[in-house]
Structure 1
């Protein structure tokens, strides 16, 4: 892949640029000057690619991430690439929801010819022995080497697929990994123009509901009747659930008939959905559930957002949800 000549650095906030406030660590502006000062201290600082810096205001702690921020990131990336003449993108992001944003951008930027890396840190820049500068300059060096188009996460010396990554730890530098979930399914033959990076999106009302022993039909119905456009159901094992509870099955079936998209993933860290293995899974599938294979929660949620946000119907959303668009389902 061609080496980066000019990088767009989009700073959204997060621990990497935080400074102490009266209430504790909080996002702070002025990070561009700190970055340039640190680059001058790096052994290869003068050899790194040229870069342009943009802040996504207001800067946020990523715990406050919303769909609106995803859309703003997508718009800022496209605007920065067009206006600054950049050939690659580095997004600085907080770690709490970094995996969610990486997945969202993976689907919002389908077909983008430039590579996009996301990074952040477990400790603020400037902490002795911290991971902020190694992650940031490590990501720049990766882009300098040349990366393929698509969204990836660079963290603790590793490149991780944007639609497969998950955060496993909250107190270690190697906080992120690609979850070892079974990858199977069928690639989409091509990405339609209705789903590529040029397509505007809108916010979507989505709920995530894990199954657990004791979940009542009235609880599930309350979620389904709250105005959601899609429900991501986190099933047991290979896609099973309380298939002998007719009230739960009826709640799902009725919601599907109303036009709610019903999608299923496995709540097992290394699980995948394969409805036909057990009768309990087959009965759930019959309510209208579409299986998400080995997709993570982050990827499945982001994919539903991108599909419905593009204006697809329930039937179209179910069709594309089951196909691999960027490596979320198939290696």
Structure 2
């Protein structure tokens, strides 16, 4: 299988410095040397590319997602690569897996992301096991779509979250409830559609949140605001000023969406009156989506230039398993 390995930086290739671990280039030579020591570890034909400069994934941005998307699409359409492995830092690995899942809808090849909790140069690192394990999964015929491979597990790109900052088994698929798929109308933008950066934000609800706090955030020119609500999608419904701020924002065309703060939660506005009040002022449900998936979905839809009403419609549809957990991409 003709595979592209795209190195973006992250812990896997970091070197020590006086200020701590820092991203480093030159990872291709280290990878080839390790592959030569493990002749059975790399079962696919691969070529290497590096995003310059390599970054600490804590600095990941929408611009980096768009750059990765462009490299991957070009590799598949122009250079006929049959699979792509992305080497990435772990801090934002789940966010990037979700973003690429939506940016690459319909891409006919598998894309796998991986990284490591310790640099490849450190004794006992998980770096080579993750990297060569991901290549083996590609060789065995991973399905088209975006996946995350870590600590022996192949995970769905839109249902994964980082659960540990220290353990090698740092990532897992969410246990949030899933929904039944809905018919797609209108069609979702696929990987051929150019994207642009989007002004969006995520705000957890908490006791003491004030209308002016939300207004100040909206005044930055937000195109979308993702609310992390309590439980099944409740919020301070008796705060008339806050409800009015949200209602006015929706009238202006800001997309308002909600997910649950609970690790195994799902938004259902019909359960409590405090939730139905949010729905009445234009907030749409993200069901059981993770924060990573919901933010990435808003970014991909708004970044395609879709109008707010179309974004709201598609946000409630299952595009690549983010709502149903099936992993099926449309």
TM-score, normalization: structure 1?
0.96
Aligned match of 1:136 in 118, 125, 131? 131
Q: Which residue in 2 is equivalent to 1:219?
A: 213
CA deviations 1:247-288 (Å, max 9, x no partner) are: 010000000000000000001111010000001100111010
String of CA shifts for 1:110-136, please: whole Å, max 9, x gaps.
000000000000000022111000000
Q: Distance in 2 between matches of 1:81 and 1:22?
A: 40
Q: Note if 1:10 corresponds to 2:17.
A: no
Q: 1:267 aligns with which of 258, 261, 265?
A: 261
The alignment partner of 2:133 has SS state of helix
2:20 paired residue among 17, 20, 24: 24
1:61 counterpart = 2:56 = yes
Matched, 1:314 2:313: no
Cα shift at 1:22: 3.0
How far the C-alpha of 1:224 sits from its partner, in A, is 1.5
Deviation at 1:221, TM superposition (A): 1.1
Partner of 1:231: 225
1:33-59 deviations in whole A, cap 9, x for unaligned?
1101101111514x6111010001111
Q: 1:199 maps to which residue?
A: 193
2:184, 2:317 within 8 Å by CA — same for their partners in 1?
A: no
> Which residue, out of 243, 251, 265, partners 1:249?
243
2:184–2:314 Cα contact (<8 Å) kept: no
1:81 Cα deviation after fit: 2.3
Residue 328 of structure 2 corresponds to which residue in structure 1? Answer: none
* Number of corresponding residues: 325
Match of 1:73 in 2: 68
Partner of residue 173 from structure 2, selected from 175, 178, 199: 178
Q: Deviations over 1:190-239 (max 9, x none)?
A: 783x6100100000000111000000111111111220000000000000
Between 62-71 and 126-135, the greater mean CA deviation after superposition = 126-135
Distance 2:182 2:144 in 1: 17
Preserved CA contact (<8 Å) 1:111 1:191: no
Q: CA RMSD in A?
A: 1.2
Q: Could you say if the C-alpha distance between residues 167 and 38 of structure 1 is closer, same or farther in structure 2, counting changes exceeding 3 Å?
A: same
Normalising by structure 2, we get a TM-score of: 0.96
Matched, 1:301 2:281: no
Gaps of 5+ in 1: none
Shift of 1:187: 3.5
Q: Which residue of 1 aligns with 2:29?
A: 33
User: Which residue matches 1:95?
Assistant: 90
CA–CA separation in structure 2 for the residues paired with 1:151 and 1:165? 11
